[in-house]
């Protein structure tokens, strides 16, 4: 391709992302390679998607076998992998039924619809309000951006979908508002990802869960980023003393194959009957094969135990860097979902890291976000810390 054609093709893309000038053409485990063959240590995992590392062998084998069988049949027919994945997800969680879709935003849309439908079926309520929390992130569709209490995400898209009220996160006194708002549901992340890697306080969740229980308010937990082992348990809610009514999943569920899911308890799930909701691609044979083999690999390779072990080591090493460099204000997060809070721009750290063949992310202007594959080992963490040390030394 000549240069002129290359430039034209680049500009044929809408500029919804400011992309790094880097084309990744190959990945294996914790490493990726660009088109020039340069190797990078990847602590982004495709934004918490490649939790089993890049091109995991077992998932690859199952998807390859499925490619020979059938790719798509629609939800007008039974799909075996979909049934098995639903059975496995409900067996491994506190929920009774699963709905499959193709992304995090779609999973949250399904949760919002199900909460409204549930409320509609309760005899003594005309309510439809859903409370979400400041700095949260729930997606880019009109519904989910209306649920996302961030000005920069909502700006320019008025009118937003009605029915969302925002409260501050981790603020116990503010929860008294719930008795006035009388929402049908709350929706939240247990570690706010895009909002800056902010974990929910245990005491706040306890207070929130008590109010929800007392007032019959559904609890929807958006586990799109925190789910699939990221925080050291399969789902983040397991580390808190409550059970949500609904959770949503996507990112890590298919190891890079697009798939989303909403899981719910039976008393809520029962209202999603034929004709209420659907998706052409949702839960298709390839996607659910990817999801099923991803979950099987979690058990077979004891991924959760690895997250617990390696995160402990990584946190210790990061706290060492914090001692050494005063520009690091705090290390926060859970498991292998980590924010390094800086008193300087995260963007310059990310760029400098790229020069060191290290890929990392941001979560807001002054937070560097780490989302390594959950298969990461001690050696790779050592390499990571050495590279990041070089980056901070040169700042």
Ligand X SMILES: *Cc1c(COP(=O)(O)O)cnc(C)c1O
Under DSSP, the state recorded for 53 is: -
Least Cβ distance, residue 249 to ligand X (angstroms): 10
CB atoms within 10 A of CB 186: 26
Using the contact rule CB under 6 A, the part of the chain among 98-106, 283-291, 315-323, 328-336 near ligand X is 98-106
- What are residue 352's phi and psi, to 5 degrees? -65, -35
Least Cβ distance, residue 372 to ligand X (angstroms): 16
Q: Which is nearer to ligand X, 189 or 380 (CB)?
A: 189
- Cα dihedral 38, 44, 50, 56 in deg (nearest 10): 30
- What are residue 42's phi and psi, to 5 degrees? -100, 100
Q: Which is nearer to ligand X, 42 or 222 (CB)?
A: 222
Structure-token pair, residue 222: 């958006």
Buried/exposed 150-172: b ≥16 CB within 10 Å, e otherwise? beebeeeeeeeeebbeebebbee
* By CB under 6 A, residue 335 contacts ligand X: no
Query: Which residues ranging from 228 to 257 are in contact with ligand X (CB under 6 A)?
Result: 250-251
* By CB under 6 A, residue 189 contacts ligand X: yes
Q: Which is nearer to ligand X, 93 or 226 (CB)?
A: 226
* By CB under 6 A, residue 362 contacts ligand X: no
Q: How far apart are CA 242 and CA 213, in angstroms?
A: 10
CB atoms within 10 A of CB 77: 7
| Helix (H) or strand (E) run with residue 248 in it | strand 246-249
* By CB under 6 A, residue 105 contacts ligand X: yes
Site map 138..177 versus ligand X, x via CB under 6 A = xx--------------------------------------
Using the contact rule CB under 6 A, the part of the chain among 52-60, 103-111, 265-273, 378-386 near ligand X is 103-111
* By CB under 6 A, residue 103 contacts ligand X: yes
Q: How far, in whole angstroms, is CA 367 from its chain's centroid?
A: 17
Among positions 153, 184, 209, 224, the unique one binding ligand X when judged by CB under 6 A:
224
Task: State the residues that interact with ligand X by CB under 6 A.
Answer: 103-105, 108, 137-139, 189, 193-194, 222, 224-225, 250-251
């Amino acid at each position: 391709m000549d240069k002129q054609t290359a430039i034209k093709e680049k500009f044929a893309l809408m500029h919804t992302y400011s992309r790094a000038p880097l084309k990744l053409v190959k990945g294996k485990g914790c490493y990726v390679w660009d088109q020039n063959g340069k190797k990078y240590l990847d602590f982004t995992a495709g934004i918490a998607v490649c939790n089993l590392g890049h091109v995991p062998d077992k998932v690859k084998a199952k998807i390859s076998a499925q490619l020979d069988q059938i790719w798509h049949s629609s939800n007008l027919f039974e799909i075996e992998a979909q049934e098995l994945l639903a059975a496995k997800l409900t067996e491994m969680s506190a929920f009774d039924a699963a709905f499959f879709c193709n992304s995090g935003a779609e999973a949250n849309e399904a949760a919002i619809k199900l909460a409204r439908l549930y409320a509609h079926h309760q005899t003594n309520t005309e309510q439809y309000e859903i409370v979400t929390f400041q700095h949260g992130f729930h997606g880019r569709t009109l519904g989910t951006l209306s649920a996302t209490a961030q000005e920069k995400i909502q700006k320019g898209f008025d009118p937003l979908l009605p029915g969302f009220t925002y409260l501050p996160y981790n603020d116990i006194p503010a929860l008294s508002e719930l008795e006035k708002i009388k929402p049908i549901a709350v929706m939240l992340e247990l570690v706010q990802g895009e909002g800056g890697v902010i974990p929910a306080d245990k005491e706040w969740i306890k207070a929130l869960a008590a109010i929800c229980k007392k007032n019959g308010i559904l609890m929807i937990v958006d586990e799109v980023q925190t789910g699939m082992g990221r925080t050291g348990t399969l789902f983040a809610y397991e580390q808190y003393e409550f059970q949500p009514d609904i959770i949503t999943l996507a990112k890590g569920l298919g190891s890079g194959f697009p798939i989303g899911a909403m899981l719910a308890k039976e008393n809520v799930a029962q209202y999603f009957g034929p004709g209420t909701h659907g998706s052409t691609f949702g839960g298709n044979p390839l996607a659910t094969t990817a999801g099923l083999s991803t979950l099987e690999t979690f058990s077979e390779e004891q991924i959760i135990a690895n997250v617990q072990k390696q995160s402990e080591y990584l946190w210790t090493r990061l706290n060492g860097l914090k001692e050494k460099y005063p520009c690091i204000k705090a290390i926060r997060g859970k498991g292998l979902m980590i924010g390094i809070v800086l008193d300087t721009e995260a963007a310059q750290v990310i760029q400098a890291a790229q020069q060191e063949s290290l890929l990392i992310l941001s979560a807001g202007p002054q937070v560097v976000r780490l989302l390594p594959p959950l298969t990461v080992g001690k050696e790779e963490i050592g390499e990571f810390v050495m590279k990041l040390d070089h980056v901070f030394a040169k700042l």
